[in-house]
Chains A and B, each alone.
Chain A
């Protein structure tokens, strides 16, 4: 496989895309897991499909449409429930299905043959273009910069928003950052695992790292590394077995999480037993 990476541009791009999306998945994964926003992130990812469809219909780069729809949905979910009686979960459900419905409608209205949308839905890391890599790099930089900008305040906001408010910390700004970096990150990950499978890459590395470490900094770094290992592992399996890369990555994510959970249980039991013997 290393020969293939050195020889073929598409393999180089695939590895670069996997690494970029790992950085994003590590960061927004921790945010989504700690703020319990995983299902909201799923809704945002699916709402993006409406924008992708609009891009096809009107003839502009679909990913910009996806980014616009995802960001608008995210800000709407984050903002609306504060001022209305509408539940965030209900709104997420509506935007989730509305985005998919609009995407299908726009694509069906586009002139000519209906394009193959499977790379957007399920991801196709082996077909990431060099131009896609450019915007993925830019989006990743935005996510990293916004996350690091107020890192310590952001950590308190993730842990205990009420206490942060009582200390006069402007939680509105931190909330806005959250609702901006999640959709931007989702668009980066869409290239790797697609809209439908982004939740796995967002939740598994962060949840798995939480089993291993008890400091947020270590959890974020570990999430990035775990995400990179899982993505590259998925690409390798996909390359050798010739099965879709997105599905491979997600299956590897799920298997690793359950394995880590199982190992942690066994290890904890063994430690308790050893302590019991010592006492």
Chain B
């Protein structure tokens, strides 16, 4: 069963079309890697799926009842914001609907603590988000998405600005989540992401899907033109 389906999607920033004719789907509980050159439209696709952008043409369909958790490429917030790691992850458990005088309950705290342990941040809950390294911050962002009980995790360059060891530890976490969640990850580290993926999408304004990520890997290594 498909978790997400994009059909003939186009999105333009003003006069410049970032993506056009994008059609692909991702099955439930599978890992899809989105790769391609800089400026090819990978992040735009993630934002379209996250609902942060609305397509100019076509449809982005998310299977009913599936919740999306978004892990952004860049930290789009002020890191000096007064929040601890635990506070930050707990915010992931907020319901979508604005409920007057909403208070976190036991279930929310359990979800936040579970997500924190899952990504290996146990014992760091009282640390300020300002004091985190890039790798720890990425894990915190993933934990927030996990705390939201998301069925689909959208990761925009989760390994960006991480050293080899931190990136490997991050991919281990993603590997452990593979059989529970649908994961869609954009990455420049093609080796790591394609080795782990169940399917791959090459994006360069248009898109081409590969059921076998190894096929894409070898085409990229042979410098073959992927989108006519």
Contacts and interface: CB of A to CB of B under 8 A. Distances in A.
Interface of A: 34, 36, 148-153, 155-156, 158-160, 162-163, 165-170, 173-174, 210, 213-216, 218-219
Contacts of A159: 77-78, 81, 83, 88, 91
B98 A170 contact: yes
Given A152-B91, A214-B128, A34 B81 contact: yes
Contacts of A155: 83, 91
Given A162-B52, A163-B70, A169 B81 contact: no
**Main SS of chain A's interface residues?**
helix
B72 interface: yes
**Main SS of chain B's interface residues?**
loop
Nearest to A210: B82
B148 A167 contact: yes
Given A213-B82, A215-B82, A165 B51 contact: yes
Contacts of A167: 70, 94, 96, 148
Nearest to B49: A166
B200 interface: no
B94 A153 contact: yes
B82 A214 contact: yes
B68 interface: yes
Interface stretch (B27-35, B100-108, B204-212): B100-108
Contacts of B78: 34, 36, 159
B111 interface: no
Given A160-B77, A166-B51, A210-B82, A150 B72 contact: no
A66 B101 CA distance: 30
B82 A216 contact: yes
Nearest to B100: A149
24 contacts: A150-B100, A151-B102, A153-B94, A153-B98, A159-B83, A159-B88, A162-B72, A162-B76, A163-B144, A166-B68, A167-B70, A167-B94, A167-B96, A167-B148, A169-B96, A170-B98, A174-B98, A214-B82, A214-B84, A214-B130, A215-B83, A216-B81, A218-B82, A219-B82
Given A160-B76, A163-B70, A163-B144, A169 B98 contact: yes
Contact of A168 (B51, B80, B88, B104): B51
B50 interface: yes
A152 B77 contact: no
B67 to A, nearest CB: 8
A144 to B, nearest CB: 13
Interface in B94-123: 94, 96, 98-104
Given A153-B102, A160-B76, A167-B148, A215 B91 contact: no
A137 to B, nearest CB: 22
B188 to A, nearest CB: 21
